[in-house]
Structure 1
Amino acid sequence: MRLRRREEKCVLGDGTRLHTVLLLPEGEGPWPALLLRHPYDVAGDEVAGMVDVARLTAAGYLVALQDVRGRFGSDGAFDPCAQEAADGAEAVAWLAARAECTGAVGMWGGSYASDTQYAALLGGAEVKAVAPAISPALSAFDGFRFRGGVPEIGSTLAWTHYAIAPHEIARVPDADRRAARQERWEATERAIADGSAYRAGALSERPDVEPIVAWGLDRLRAPLDAAIQRVGKIGDRIGAVAVPALVIGGWFDVFLGSTLELHRRLAEAARTTGSPAPRLIIGPWSHASMGSEIAGVDFGPTAAADHLWGDGDLTTQHVRWFDGALRGAPLPDAPVQVFVMGANRWLALEEFPPPSARTVELLLGADGAISTTPAAGDRTLVSDPHDPVPTQGGAVLLFGGFDAGPADQRVIEARPDVMTWRTEPLTADVTVVGAVRAVVHLSTTGTDADVVVRLCDEHPDGTVRVIADGVQRGSARGVDSVTGRGERRPLTPGRDEEFEVDLWATAHTFSRGHRLRVDIAQSSSPRWEVGTNSCGPAGEPGEPQVATWTIRHGGAHPTRLIVQTVDL
């Protein structure tokens, strides 16, 4: 359809002008408005965004697409996260005051565009409803900059170097300075290509990189409890989000943990304070794809965002959501919809995880079996930081050929520094819906250890698909995964230690004849910083060294995987 389109400048209090595209419905206004704000050039959302803006406009919404400060058509210098609370609040007020608007403003969008929604609320914006997707807004420590205390060096490089730096360079007015910046970009590109950008100890070096890449790496080097890590994040300020929220995520999204925890906290606030209850949609999606196929696995046509559970696509869900939140229309009965992989169907729930879910402990044995009576004993592996285990699928946001999703793990599992355990072939389907975590008992000859755990589905033909994964750095076990506060200290060589590894959550049916499989590895590179196996007195990484791990089983050392199961 032909859209009525205008380009405007939203002038902020400091004089900065933000480029804004307005898409107007047919007829006379005023209309409620929907605002999208991000740093990736909103021109793209007019033709191929997460939702169809033409259909939002056809549904009677004034749509506003805005480049954030310092990006594409907007003035100023880009200061990621820090600028969005004040700028977002002013942008919402500007839009609400326009003659074309009723004064009611909702916001939507994924990734950074979800951050701008929460940030606007933190800035005091009068937003009436939000629809944040694949969101890192909760914390820096649950997949955004760190996971289990381990720096997310891969996604930091992917975002700063590829998503942000090219346009930052293009904005430099002086040709010589622009050429110098381009040379730095090319040097970083070479370092990513040869692996030196993310090898063990890379964060202790300070190469001459583009300013935005330096910005990202400096935050990985900063203390976990530094104030800079909390900028633009909700953290313990969930009370600021006292508006209806449609929360959207993917099982293979790098920000799944943050998305689910934001929903849990919003649901808890609704129960205790009477604030609006959130809605949740989780598909078999990654950060970059909401299709039905990922990593060579086709989950069927209803898995895609343009089909869903037979009740309209993702744009339809947004229209219904904002019709309910801004216009008082009825909402669908089920507040939660999650896609169950393996069964390849959507599951409607009242809450996630469902209260009916049963907690099951899968005990890992020294013989490599998973059973209720595990074989006691030890298994050892050698952790060599100079030969890290490569990333192969999972909930990642990376570069090159490191794609997200349920990738086959057989090449990885063939390595001597990856241990595996598996059940006997299942005699009936087992459906896991809810949280997944592992408890690993080990000792090491080093003073630190990064324990990577994967839950996999082993098919009868031998294919091994990763379903969920997580990591925990030994020296950071006392650090809170939301606030970053807590003591960091080295491990004592030779002492038995307990690692609790959060694999976030999943919804997956392990079919009859398949096996549940668990892998433990010493790294996943370039996804996470390669651990050095050494730690200083204050928790800082030491020089890389080879270490031997001993994993304990049975008796007083029950290494195990803990899942929640349901009957479908």
Structure 2
Amino acid sequence: MTPYTTTVEGLATDVHLPDGRGPFPAVLIRTPYDRLRHRAELRGWARRGFAAVAQDVRGRHGSPGEWHPYGNETADGAAAVRWIRRQPFGDGRVVAAGASYAAHCALVLALDAPRDARPDAVLAAVPALGAADTAREPSGVERLAARAGWWAAHGDRRDSDETALARARAADPGLLTHLPLTGLPGRLGRALPSWPALWRHRERGRLIARAAGARVPLLAAGGHHDHFAEDTADLWRHWGGPSARLLLGPWGHGLTAQPGPDADPAHHVDLGDLYVRWARLALAGDLAPGARGAIGLGGSPLWLAAGTDGEPYTPRLRTLRGASFTADPERPVSSEDLTVPTDGTPDRCVLLTPPLPRPLDLVGPVHVAMRAAADTPRADWAARLTELTPDGAARRLTVGVARRADPPGRATGFTVRLGRLARRLPAGTRLRLEIAGHHFPAHARNPHTGEDPVTARRLLPSRRDVDPAGVLLRLPVLRARPAPTDPAQEILR
């Protein structure tokens, strides 16, 4: 293999070529996370016959210029694809690949670049689809902790400091409580001019909307415990290319390197080998048309065919406390602690199911329908579902947050989406549902003043009333024994 470093339109670019005579198909990875961290990955692609190219995006690590997240990737990526196609080592075929922000770089090439600069296939792992998609829930609620961590680590700087937010919070445990949230850079002690601008992005779904117009094969890989799991599945469902493949396992943002507590040894997948085999078939046009894939069922060793969804099931709920509660942003319900207080003024409504009489396989979207009222004109409603195991452990299953603007004091019916589950629950498990006004610091606190939570400077408590009889937890339950599948067979057929 022959590695070398060059520049493409001034941007630092590493190339690893296979042994032997070309020309070769190419794989392009454009990243803000340092191209040098991809050396082993590039060697792996090159050993398997691909010319492997990694490039630092503009303004990051070895590339000059100013770093504007989500700003320059279409034009710079198009220049990189055109450069690859001019090189004697290439046969003209290019796979755009990447994880997280690098997946965004790959996707905009396929969806937004001029036709002569579009790749021939896209591999998008745990994709960060865009600024608004990463910063907000579908209801508009701000994802505070995750975005603060990313901006502290990577925003408005040439290099990265992955531990920046953790160190700052250790020194100042109340760091994220300071108002306004636009003042966070000052608390961190460094300039972050793009931080306030991030929150002006409100329109989610731009890439998803354009996915129907895709004309190349897609492999989307994600984890059930990843912030972007819903976006990964939505991308696959909306993709208009000749084939779309989905791989979702019980993993976090690091995929197989970050297994969840419900992962089984059977959920370990050699991603590098799978990616290469898929790329060969995709470039050759040998994948069956349509959408296929595999989903790992957490809590079991099973893989299921993507698109498998359970039938609606509504378990009986008993209200433990808090049919009336106070959502006080000065004392918000913590997203980092599953402990539920049993004394004092209730800060949430808590409901519980009876023990499950048999194991349940939950595969598909979870919803909570409720009838409730807030005495403030703006209110967030957070619903958190927790598994209480027979041995006494509490494990978070899924969370959803909805932002409402209902008449103060008037009970209104609405639904909170809690995302999708792929989880086997053993017999004897109880499900605990918490309905609260905040889920902090994962999500910004609604100030209850009608102000923007990002720029608000004062907070007010909000009285909440929940009609226990109007709370319905809708679970997707597989009624029959699930049919197992092999993930590689589903991805590569």
TM-score band w.r.t. shorter chain: 0.7 to 0.9
What letter is aligned with 1:531? N
Q: 1:549 aligns with which of 464, 468, 471?
A: 464
* 2:311 alignment partner in structure 1: 358
CA shift digits 1:181-213 (9 cap, x unpaired)? xxxx99996478425542274336576477873
Structure 1: 5+ residue stretches without partners: 12-16, 171-184, 270-274, 369-377, 393-407, 476-490
* 1:31 alignment partner in structure 2: 24
Give yes or no for contact 1:198–1:526 (8 Å, CA) kept in 2. yes
Please state how far the C-alpha of 1:438 moved relative to its aligned partner.
Answer: 1.5
Please state how far the C-alpha of 1:339 moved relative to its aligned partner.
Answer: 0.9
Q: 1:565 aligns with which of 474, 477, 490?
A: 477
* 2:192 alignment partner in structure 1: 213
CA shift digits 1:334-378 (9 cap, x unpaired)? 92111111223222x1x4244xx312234544457xxxxxxxxx8
C-alpha distance in 1 between matches for 2:316 and 2:341: 22
C-alpha distance in 2 between matches for 1:505 and 1:562: 12
1:384 pairs with 2:328? yes
1:114 pairs with 2:130? no
- Tell me the TM-score normalized by structure 2: 0.87
Q: 1:79 aligns with which of 47, 65, 68?
A: 68
* 2:220 alignment partner in structure 1: 247
CA shift digits 1:72-124 (9 cap, x unpaired)? 11121111111001111111111121100000000111100100011112122
C-alpha distance in 2 between matches for 1:540 and 1:91: 39
Give yes or no for contact 1:320–1:331 (8 Å, CA) kept in 2. no
What letter is aligned with 1:387? R
CA shift digits 1:30-68 (9 cap, x unpaired)? 000001001110101113xxxx43232121110001111
Please state how far the C-alpha of 1:534 moved relative to its aligned partner.
Answer: 2.6
* 2:387 alignment partner in structure 1: 457
**Residues 82 and 240 of structure 1, relative CA distance in 2, 3 Å threshold:** farther
What letter is aligned with 1:128? D
**Residues 169 and 149 of structure 1, relative CA distance in 2, 3 Å threshold:** closer
Q: Secondary structure at the match of 2:193?
A: helix
What letter is aligned with 2:135? F
Give yes or no for contact 2:382–2:439 (8 Å, CA) kept in 1. yes
**Residues 279 and 362 of structure 1, relative CA distance in 2, 3 Å threshold:** same
What letter is aligned with 1:5? P
1:420 pairs with 2:364? no
What letter is aligned with 1:505? R
Mean CA deviation greater in 493-502 or 34-43 = 493-502
C-alpha distance in 1 between matches for 2:196 and 2:364: 33
Give yes or no for contact 1:532–1:541 (8 Å, CA) kept in 2. yes
Please state how far the C-alpha of 1:217 moved relative to its aligned partner.
Answer: 3.0
Mean CA deviation greater in 96-105 or 330-339 = 330-339
Please state how far the C-alpha of 1:330 moved relative to its aligned partner.
Answer: 5.5
Q: 1:283 aligns with which of 246, 249, 259?
A: 249
Q: Secondary structure at the match of 2:207?
A: coil
Please state how far the C-alpha of 1:419 moved relative to its aligned partner.
Answer: 3.0
1:10 pairs with 2:21? no
**Residues 147 and 390 of structure 1, relative CA distance in 2, 3 Å threshold:** farther
Q: Secondary structure at the match of 2:177?
A: coil
C-alpha distance in 1 between matches for 2:328 and 2:85: 57
Q: 2:121 aligns with which of 113, 129, 135?
A: 129
Please state how far the C-alpha of 1:20 moved relative to its aligned partner.
Answer: 0.9
Please state how far the C-alpha of 1:325 moved relative to its aligned partner.
Answer: 0.7
Please state how far the C-alpha of 1:299 moved relative to its aligned partner.
Answer: 2.2
* 2:300 alignment partner in structure 1: 343
* 1:156 alignment partner in structure 2: 147
Q: 2:274 aligns with which of 311, 317, 323?
A: 317
Q: Secondary structure at the match of 1:500?
A: strand
**Residues 224 and 384 of structure 1, relative CA distance in 2, 3 Å threshold:** same
C-alpha distance in 2 between matches for 1:278 and 1:300: 26
Q: Secondary structure at the match of 2:209?
A: coil
**Residues 419 and 413 of structure 1, relative CA distance in 2, 3 Å threshold:** farther
1:65 pairs with 2:44? no
* 2:445 alignment partner in structure 1: 530
Give yes or no for contact 1:86–1:123 (8 Å, CA) kept in 2. yes
The alignment's C-alpha RMSD in Å is 3.1
* 1:402 alignment partner in structure 2: none
What letter is aligned with 1:45? H
**Residues 207 and 157 of structure 1, relative CA distance in 2, 3 Å threshold:** closer
Q: Secondary structure at the match of 1:359?
A: strand
Give yes or no for contact 2:85–2:91 (8 Å, CA) kept in 1. yes
Please state how far the C-alpha of 1:157 moved relative to its aligned partner.
Answer: 1.2
What letter is aligned with 1:67? D
* 1:504 alignment partner in structure 2: 419
Mean CA deviation greater in 118-127 or 144-153 = 144-153
Q: Secondary structure at the match of 2:149?
A: helix
* 2:90 alignment partner in structure 1: 101
Give yes or no for contact 2:27–2:95 (8 Å, CA) kept in 1. yes
1:202 pairs with 2:180? yes
C-alpha distance in 1 between matches for 2:202 and 2:3: 45
What letter is aligned with 2:334? P
What letter is aligned with 1:444? A
Please state how far the C-alpha of 1:561 moved relative to its aligned partner.
Answer: 1.8
C-alpha distance in 2 between matches for 1:188 and 1:60: 41
C-alpha distance in 1 between matches for 2:182 and 2:157: 25
C-alpha distance in 2 between matches for 1:413 and 1:276: 55
C-alpha distance in 2 between matches for 1:333 and 1:493: 48
Give yes or no for contact 2:181–2:454 (8 Å, CA) kept in 1. no
C-alpha distance in 1 between matches for 2:234 and 2:343: 34
Give yes or no for contact 1:143–1:258 (8 Å, CA) kept in 2. no
Give yes or no for contact 1:422–1:517 (8 Å, CA) kept in 2. yes
Provide the aligned length of Structure 1 versus Structure 2: 474
Q: Secondary structure at the match of 1:528?
A: coil
Please state how far the C-alpha of 1:300 moved relative to its aligned partner.
Answer: 2.5
Please state how far the C-alpha of 1:159 moved relative to its aligned partner.
Answer: 0.8
Please state how far the C-alpha of 1:25 moved relative to its aligned partner.
Answer: 0.6
C-alpha distance in 2 between matches for 1:91 and 1:419: 53
Percent identity for Structure 1 against Structure 2: 27
Where do residues 227-266 of structure 1 align in structure 2 (5 Å cutoff)? 233-266=206-239
Where do residues 176-195 of structure 1 align in structure 2 (5 Å cutoff)? 190=168, 193-195=171-173
Q: 2:37 aligns with which of 41, 44, 48?
A: 44
What letter is aligned with 1:564? P
Q: Secondary structure at the match of 2:243?
A: coil
CA shift digits 1:125-183 (9 cap, x unpaired)? 3200011011121x55554344521111212211111134553599xxxxxxxxxxxxx
Mean CA deviation greater in 448-457 or 38-47 = 448-457
What letter is aligned with 1:123? A
- Tell me the TM-score normalized by structure 1: 0.76
* 2:372 alignment partner in structure 1: 442
